[in-house]
Amino acid sequence: MTAATLALTQQRANRRLAIKLAVVAALMVGFAYGMVPFYNVFCEALGVDRARPELADTHAAAMRVEFDSNVSAGLPARLTALEPVVAGRAGGLIKAKFRLENLSDAPLGIRAVPSYAPERAGRFLQKLECFCFNALTLAPRETREVTVVLLVESDMPQELGAVTLSYTLYPLEENAHQEHPAT
């Protein structure tokens, strides 16, 4: 091969490689855009909280209300907020559902005790209906959906921003008696 043809072969090989690399670069732009739908799917699949349009409404002050749930130690029950983050609007209603499960083979008497963070937020969220008002008794292995309805006061201060409403399940006193056949 003469030097000239050698240079030509080289040039052709170079060009082929450059085109391949340029295609990779173009595909990577596509990858950047592909991350957008992927992100949504990923957040949904993992149940990861993401930004929500209803909280970003600039025309009306929105408050982010987060539901947290705990079970006191040793209690065979589970409490899950079905929608852990909701948007509250001054003067509006918030309806949230929880799933309550008895994991034991015996009937279970429980009571949910609410608490707020920050504490002063309690003043602006008025409970119209709550599963925490009453003591509940769950049949063995029972799963039940329970509801909370909150009225957001119309004088809710805008700087409040976010509120966490936490429920902790405690056993009822009677449980102890039920579990001891002696009584």
Alpha-carbon separation of residue 54 from 35, 60, 105 (angstroms): 23, 10, 41
**Which residues touch 2 (CB under 8 Å, ≥6 apart)?**
none
Among 134, 139, 165, CA closest to 67:
165
The interface with another protein within residues 39-98 (CB under 8 A) comprises 39, 43, 46, 48-53, 55-58
Q: Applying CB under 8 A, what is the total number of residues that bind another protein? A: 33
* Residue whose entry in the numeric block shows the structure tokens 């085109």: 19
Using the minimum distance from each CB to another protein, give the nearer residue, 46 or 182.
Answer: 46
Distance between CA atoms of residues 75 and 72, nearest Å:
6
Distance between CA atoms of residues 110 and 106, nearest Å:
13
14 contacts another protein (rule: CB under 8 A): yes
Give the per-residue contact string, 21-40, with another protein (x = CB under 8 A; - = no): xx-xxxxxx-xxx-xx--x-
The type of residue at 21 is L
Using the minimum distance from each CB to another protein, give the nearer residue, 40 or 154.
Answer: 40
Over the Cα atoms of the chain, what is R_g? 28
Using the minimum distance from each CB to another protein, give the nearer residue, 39 or 133.
Answer: 39
Tell me which stretch binds another protein (CB under 8 A): 10-18, 97-105, 122-130, 169-177: 10-18
149 contacts another protein (rule: CB under 8 A): no
Q: Where does this chain bind another protein (CB under 8 A)? A: 7, 10-11, 13-14, 17-18, 21-22, 24-29, 31-33, 35-36, 39, 43, 46, 48-53, 55-58
